[in-house]
Amino acid sequence: MRVSGYRLAMLRAPLRLPFKTALRQVDEVEDVVVLLESDCGKLGYGSAPATRAITGQDHQSIMTSLVRDLLPALDGRPFDDLGSVLALFDQLPKDNVNARSALEIAVFDLAAQASGLPLAAFLGGGSSLPDTGITVSVDQPEVMVAGALDAVDRGFATLKLKVGGSGDGDIERVSQVAAAIAGRARIYLDANQAWTSDQAVGVIHALNKRGISIDLLEQPVPAGDIAGLARVCLALDTPVMADESVFCDEDAVSIIAAGAADIINIKLVKSAGITGALRVADIAADAGISCMMGCMLESAIAVGAAAHVAAARSAVIKRVDLDAPMLCRQSPIVGGTVFDGPRIELNSTPGLGIDAVPGLEFL
């Protein structure tokens, strides 16, 4: 099988509610979609969102990198040796992890289809996943309470509360949500780098004094403040998870060496695709550190791929936070992984199992 052509498109999916973090507000999923055409009639899908606040990339830079650097290297190349195909990418500019991730997903989709296996099985893993939690955006306490109650009514047993305002304000937000859903769901907090280490420790201690148990604290301090992250990790009984501090395998090694995280959050975009994500997972496994598979605010194409990777490394990826498709009013993807409330069901068909993506805006 060889790549015989490609198409690029935009996928847009309105959200149920605005998505608000300490870094940004978003009203719809907007992904660049890569469709790889093969000479045997198969079609591989990949996608990536713009994540300027995290990776520095917007839609235009993603498309430019794909067309200028990445896609030309694949033209006509056989997929018999996937390793040699992926090795090509390592010889190309590495400044656009979003573009690399989108193309890698499409490449793996085609390769798994050619093997006749679902992607998770192609990667050597199983087919089951734990339930996912869901995000409640940072907002006024009463708005967050309403969002939390809606989530638990939909069956979610883990809520990720976005925080990162003032310490006192965050304590009040979390306290009101915890009171409203008491006994119905676990709570973990994601500050998106917005606190200092002292603030992070102070907020968790204050919540603990109110009898509120936090299941997990995600990236409380700026990504580069590894010493601060380590201080938080040392000071708290609450598990601390590194997100923006870990993009690649080198970052994972540094975080683990510094004792700066109990858990690592893997995302395909951060890791420049599936191969990078697998490297991070394997390094964490060797160090006895567990992982979560997360996602950006992106479509079920890339989130489906992330779900397959999580199933392929289920021994180390013990949690998943793959809620983006459930934050949309509806998924525009036909076929593929099914996201049904907290439950995720991988396709049993080859590759990602995507039959069609109606409504794409071809570029």
At residue 326, the pLDDT reads 92
- Percentage of residues of the chain with pLDDT beyond 90: 85
Query: Angle at the Cα of 73 (from 71 to 77), degrees rounded to 5?
Result: 105
| pLDDT tens digits along 249-306 | 999 999 999 999 999 999 999 999 999 999 999 999 999 999 999 999 999 999 999 9
The residues pairing with 292 across neighbouring beta strands, listed in sequence order, are 265, 319
What is the rounded distance in angstroms from the CA atom of residue 222 to the CA atom of residue 102?
A: 26
Q: Residue 154: which pLDDT band, with cuts at 50, 70 and 90?
A: very high
At residue 97, the pLDDT reads 96
| pLDDT tens digits along 85-130 | 888 888 887 789 999 999 999 999 999 999 999 999 999 998 889 9
Report which of 348, 310, 342, 346 is spatially closest to residue 325, judged by C-alpha positions: 342
Q: How many CB atoms lie within 10 A of CB 199?
A: 18
Q: Is the pLDDT of residue 135 over 70?
A: yes
Q: Is the pLDDT of residue 352 over 90?
A: yes
Report which of 97, 100, 218, 102 is spatially closest to residue 160, judged by C-alpha positions: 218
Residues annotated as catalytic (active site), given as ranges? 162, 267
Q: Residue 338: which pLDDT band, with cuts at 50, 70 and 90?
A: very high
What is the rounded distance in angstroms from the CA atom of residue 52 to the CA atom of residue 49?
A: 9
Q: Is the pLDDT of residue 75 over 90?
A: no
DSSP state of 130: P
State how far Cα 66 lies from the chain centre.
21
Q: Is the pLDDT of residue 22 over 70?
A: no
Whether 320 contacts 130, CB under 8 Å: yes
Buried b (16+ CB within 10 A) or exposed e, 277-293: bbbbbebbeeeebbbbb
At residue 274, the pLDDT reads 97
The two tokens of residue 270 are: 């951060």
The two tokens of residue 311 are: 């199933």
Q: Residue 196: which pLDDT band, with cuts at 50, 70 and 90?
A: very high
Q: What is the mean pLDDT of residues 2-30?
A: 87
Q: Is the pLDDT of residue 180 over 90?
A: yes
Q: Is the pLDDT of residue 23 over 70?
A: no
Walk me through the domains of the chain, giving residue ranges and CATH numbers.
Answer: 3-116 (3.30.390.10), 122-356 (3.20.20.120)
At residue 81, the pLDDT reads 78
Q: How many CB atoms lie within 10 A of CB 182?
A: 10
